[in-house]
Every structure is written in C-alpha cells, then in structure tokens.
Homo-oligomer: A and B are copies of this chain.
Amino acid sequence: MSETRPMQIRVENADDPAVAEFRDIRERDLVGRTGRFIAEGTVVLNMLAAAHGQENGFRAEKILVLENRLAGIADTLNRFPEDVPVYTASAAVIDAIAGFHLHRGVLALGRKPEPRPLDEALTRLPERALVTVLSGISNHDNAGAIFRNSAAFGASLIILDETSCDPLYRKAIRVSVGSVLTVPFHRGGSIDEILMKLDRAGFAVWGLSPAGQHPLRDLPASNRTALLLGTEGQGLPSDLMARINTARIAQMPGLDSLNVATAAALSLHEMAHRMGLLSE
C-alpha cells in the first residue's frame, strides 16, 4: 500500500484541521457554499475515481478511511491519482470526526467541475436522447432516487431548475448509488428558460402530473424526449401545465399521487422502451 499511496497520513485527533471538511457531515450542506461534496462507500468512490479521467469532471480532494478497512479497499484507493491524500484514523476518531457511526468506513471530499452553460450540455447530446427535467424538487431522497432511475433507463442528461436542490448533497449522492457522479446534469435557470432551450434543441417536452391530459401509454415515440417532473406536494404549477403537453400515469382513484421518483421511473421506463434505448 505505502508504495502506491505515498500520501497516506494518520489522523490522531478529530480536531485535526486537515480533515475539517469531514466534520459533522450528517446534515451539513457543504456543496452550496464551497462547491465541495462528500462521497461515501466504495461504490460511489469508484465512480468518483473514474471521473478523474474526464476533462472538467468531478475531482477528489482528499479521502478519509477507517484504518482497519484500508486493506479491503486498496483497489478503490489505487484508482485515484497519487496526489490525492488518504487520511487514516481509528474507529473512535473517525466517528468523532463524522459525528455518527461511519460503518462504511470510507469518505471522500469531492469538488464540482466548473459549471457550463445549458446550451453547451444540450449541444453535446446524441441525436436520440432522453432528458429528465426537475422543477422544485427539494427533497434530497427524491432527487437521488430520480438520478438512480434516470441512469437505469438511459437518460443522457438531467436538468434541475433553480428551485430544485443540489444533487451533490451527501444524502442525494448516497440514494442515487453514485449516479449523480455519472449522469451529466445541469442545475440553474428558470423552468421557462429551460423549456425554451429544450424546444430549440428539438425536444418534445412532456410534463408528468396526475392531472395530465394524455395517458403515459399513449405518448408518441420521439427521438428527443424530455420528461418534466414537479415537486411532490404541489406538482407542476397549472399555468405551466397549460402551456405544455402533459401526461398522467393511470392509478386507482382516490389515492395520493405516486412518489415523484416512482413516477419518474415509470415514465422513463416507458419512454426508454419507445425510443429503443433498452435492449429488450
């Protein structure tokens, strides 16, 4: 280990400023102020390591590992560039740093790439593309689950408007099983601006809502489809609904609407089939 990872440093004290970014991470939102985020567990860390191969991709700044997990995750650690420092600590010290029992035993501090304009992201899309658009999604679990489902059904891009949460929040990354680090996304701008740009790029936009006009199963196949999901409580605002095509998912009457990430899964699955993105 010590040959491939010369930057291995033992932390004796939870107050060590070298690991300050890992302190009390449970509910802390690092990403909003600093552009940094916390990645947990080997699955997500492998995805973060892979991002180093991309131009202007995510980068790891430092890693914190439970000392008795070091040997077990050597393969993961070796995927990172050698200049990324790996801090090691005992279970007691690491739990004192994180503020809870860290049974996964490994954390990384990541850095977001420089944001690029939405137009650029749209230009890079393939001719046949499925895009997920989120407006007012503020729950991190839902955001993470939507990323996971978008990855599963082949979405090429996820666009979050300015009223949606940052998917690089720790819990969203965890729930996404790391797909926040693999599916390209753009966050920012008003929903009107986003829809205008999608239209200009040749996308058919469908808003999902229990009050949608067309049954999901009747949606026309299209080479470029964008599925728009609104916040679970309020759904898409009615003035927006009036201006776009809308679809509904059939369900039994008299019940609450589906969870927004579940609705995303159903509609992405349906469209991915129509568009031939899935192999069967």
Whether A251 sits at the interface, judged by CB under 8 Å, is: yes
A28 close to B (CB within 8 Å)? no
Contact with B along A111-144 (1 / 0, CB 8 A): 0000000000000000000000000000000000
Q: Does A16 contact B (CB under 8 A)?
A: no
By a CB distance below 8 angstroms, the chain B residues around A259 are 145, 148
Q: How far is the CB of A219 from chain B (nearest CB, A)?
A: 13
Please state the number of chain copies in the assembly: 2
Closest to A149 in B: B262
Q: Which of A80-88, A151-159, A160-168, A236-244 forms part of the interface with chain B?
A: A151-159
Taking the nearest CB of chain B, how far is it from the CB of A6, in angstroms?
A: 32
Instruction: With CB as the reference atom, state the residue of chain B lying closest to A262.
Output: B265
Q: Which of chain A's residues 148-201 have a Cβ closer than 8 Å to chain B?
A: 148-149, 151-154, 177, 179
Do B258 and A152 touch (CB < 8 A)? yes
A145 pairs with B262, CB closer than 8 A: yes
* Contact digits for A227-257, partner B, Cβ 8 Å, 1 yes 0 no: 0000000000000000000000111110110
Residues of A in contact (CB 8 Å), total 32
Q: Find out whether the CB atom of B278 lies under 8 angstroms from the CB atom of A251.
A: yes
Contact, CB under 8 Å: A252 / B154:
yes
Is B217 within 8 A of A273, CB to CB? yes
Taking CB atoms and an 8 Å cut-off, the chain A residues in 264-280 that contact chain B are: 265-266, 269, 272-273, 277-280
Since A152-B251, A266-B269 are in contact, a sample of 13 more A-B pairs with Cβ atoms closer than 8 Å, ordered by chain A residue number, is A145-B259, A148-B258, A151-B252, A153-B252, A177-B255, A217-B273, A249-B269, A250-B273, A250-B278, A251-B278, A258-B265, A262-B265, A265-B266
CB pairs A–B below 8 angstroms (24 shown): A43-B256, A145-B259, A145-B262, A148-B259, A149-B258, A149-B262, A152-B252, A152-B255, A152-B258, A177-B255, A177-B256, A179-B255, A217-B273, A217-B280, A250-B278, A250-B279, A250-B280, A251-B278, A253-B279, A258-B265, A262-B262, A262-B265, A265-B266, A266-B266
